[in-house]
């Protein structure tokens, strides 16, 4: 990597990450991301430009508002650094190309959606639907090279030039990925609703997977769904077990119950947590999509080599 270009890309990533923090805070609340200027959520005082420098201002202010000294979440720095790092990784993989712009855009959108879902359990349409449109648009500029591009040309002799042909196949791949991803999540949510009588997945997850499918194509979309399901299941089981163990110890110490009695009562509490906890599944879908972007193809080649 060219050091100057890499530094510039990283700096741009920090700036985009700073803007992403505005989106994460304002979009779920129905606020404009452009007006008014950034202000402290506690004292409402406007933040001057010298206190709004990505990462640097947070460190100099020691994570507090200059006026009221209210603590500022470390999430702001994390989002900025993570966005900058993803931009740099995209540059490392794709160079300064249309592919870099495409996947840096995807990284930007996914980071915003991951943190928004983690904080508010919401996935704003302004990110998911905009991302869906961008994914389909980029598919005619950067080839998806997925299932349709491998299968359809052998079935259909398209009377078009090779340049138009690959763009058409790439667009078909992106469309199939979007439809498959959205349909799978919608179907899983409908089955869960009918089986348990409560909503398990919202339409935000459906739109998110449509967006991911438009960027990644059918093959990596399926991989993302299965990887996210495994990661979400591990997280869910770990949460239930952690609650069970923690409440068992608390009951034994405070209520002086026997180990058997404490475990039984604690397990009832853990089951209530499992039933009522609203898991932000978008966090796992977005995270696994980022992994699939860079490691999906090598993983699938390795996996198919085992069969």
For 214-246, the pLDDT digits (tens) are 999 999 999 999 999 999 989 888 888 888 888
Strand partners, 46: 39
Quick check: 181 pLDDT over 90? yes
**Angle CA(10)–CA(12)–CA(16) in degrees, nearest 5?**
115
pTM over 0.85: yes
- What burial class does residue 126 get, using C-beta atoms within 10 Å of its C-beta: 0-12 exposed, 13-18 middle, 19+ buried? exposed
- In this prediction, residue 67 carries a pLDDT of 84
**Separation between Cα atoms, residue 230 and residue 240, nearest integer Å:** 16
What is the reported pLDDT for 167?
Answer: 84
* Whether the predicted pLDDT of 143 surpasses 70: yes
d(Cα 279, Cα 236) in Å, to the nearest integer?
A: 8
| Weakest mean pLDDT among 43-52, 69-78, 140-149 | 140-149
User: Residue 203: is its pLDDT beyond 80?
Assistant: yes
d(CA 106, CA 290): 8
The pLDDT value recorded for residue 155 is: 45
Residue 259 or 220, more confident: 220
Q: Could you check whether the bond before residue 36 is cis, i.e. omega within 30 degrees of 0? A: yes
End-to-end CA, the chain: 37
Which residues, including other chains, have CB under 8 Å from residue 125's CB and lie 6 or more apart? Answer: 207
* pLDDT at 161 (0 to 100): 58
Buried (b) or exposed (e) across 227-238, using 16+ Cβ within 10 A? Answer: bbbebbeeeeee
What is the per-residue pLDDT for 45? 82
Q: Once rounded to an integer, what is the mean pLDDT over residues 107-123?
A: 94
- Label residue 150 by pLDDT band (50, 70, 90): low
List of residues 6+ apart from 168 with CB closer than 8 A: 158, 160
Instruction: Please give the structure tokens belonging to residue 200.
Output: 């398990």
More confident residue, 217 or 198: 217
User: Chain-wide mean pLDDT for the chain?
Assistant: 86
**Res 149 pLDDT > 60:** no
The pair of structure tokens assigned to 205 is 């997850």
CA nearest to 55, candidates 85, 79, 90: 79
Q: Are 123 and 204 in contact (CB under 8 A)?
A: yes
Give the per-residue pLDDT at 42: 79
For 235-264, what is the mean pLDDT? 83
Q: Give the pLDDT mean for 163-190.
A: 87
The secondary structure of residue 46, as a DSSP letter, is B
């Amino acid at each position: 990597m060219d050091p100057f270009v890499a530094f510039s890309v990283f700096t741009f990533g920090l700036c985009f990450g700073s803007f992403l923090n505005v989106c994460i805070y304002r979009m779920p609340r129905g606020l404009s991301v452009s007006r008014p200027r950034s202000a402290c959520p506690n004292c409402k005082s406007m933040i001057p430009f010298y206190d709004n420098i990505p990462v640097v201002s947070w460190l100099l202010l020691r994570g507090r508002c200059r006026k009221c000294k209210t603590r500022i979440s470390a999430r702001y720095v994390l989002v900025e650094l993570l966005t900058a790092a993803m931009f740099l990784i995209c540059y490392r993989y794709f160079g300064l190309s249309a592919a870099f712009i495409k996947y840096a855009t995807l990284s930007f959108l996914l980071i915003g959606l991951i943190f928004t879902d983690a904080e508010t359990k919401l996935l704003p349409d302004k990110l998911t639907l905009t991302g869906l449109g961008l994914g389909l648009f980029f598919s005619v500029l950067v080839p998806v090279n997925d299932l349709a591009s491998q299968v359809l040309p052998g079935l259909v002799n398209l009377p078009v030039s090779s340049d138009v042909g690959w763009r058409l196949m790439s667009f078909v791949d992106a469309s199939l990925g979007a439809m498959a991803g959205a349909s799978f999540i919608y179907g899983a949510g409908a089955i869960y609703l009918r089986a348990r009588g409560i909503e398990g997945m919202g339409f935000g997850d459906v739109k998110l997977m449509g967006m991911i499918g438009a960027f990644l194509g059918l093959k990596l979309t399926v991989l993302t769904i299965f990887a996210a399901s495994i990661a979400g299941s591990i997280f869910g089981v770990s949460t239930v077990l952690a609650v069970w163990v923690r409440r068992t110890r608390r009951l034994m110490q405070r209520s002086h119950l026997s180990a058997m009695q404490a475990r039984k009562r604690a397990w009832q509490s853990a089951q209530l947590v499992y039933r009522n906890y609203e898991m932000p599944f978008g966090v796992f879908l977005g995270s696994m999509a980022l992994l699939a972007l860079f490691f999906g193809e090598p993983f699938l080649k390795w996996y198919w080599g085992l069969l």
